[in-house]
Amino acid sequence: MADKHVLNVTEQNFEQEVLQSDVPVLLDFWASWCAPCRMIAPTIEALAGEMAGKIKVGKVNVDEQPGLAETFRVMSIPTVTLTRGDKLLMQSVGVKPKETLKKEIENKL
């Protein structure tokens, strides 16, 4: 991951990076073989930069972190979630325009 604003979230760092975060956390559930995931990746990276300080952004590889995908009941990817602590604020499935996704996030902050 080239973007310094985007974390790689794993089961090992989930509690520290997500549950104990001071700001809401946007998680992008993805897989390397998923074409729509590659389509939304630049949007997620752009939002990470634009919304730095308001939210934290992380990516969860569902093939490497099946437990996290199960915890969030991810059935299709890409799935984007916004959480605060252990509370799910928003869940979005599929590719959406950046401005649409950004509005959905801002409405939950």
Does the active-site annotation cover 34?
Answer: yes
Does the active-site annotation cover 37?
Answer: yes
**Residue 54 CB contacts under 8 Å (≥ 6 apart), including other chains:** 23, 24, 109
SS3 content of the chain, % helix, strand, coil (to 5): 35, 30, 35
Report the distance separating Cα 67 and Cα 41, nearest Å: 22
Q: Which two tokens stand for residue 67?
A: 């437990």
Report the distance separating Cα 22 and Cα 17, nearest Å: 9
Catalytic-labelled residue, pool 3, 21, 34, 93: 34
Catalytic-labelled residue, pool 18, 27, 37, 74: 37
- Active-site positions read 34, 37
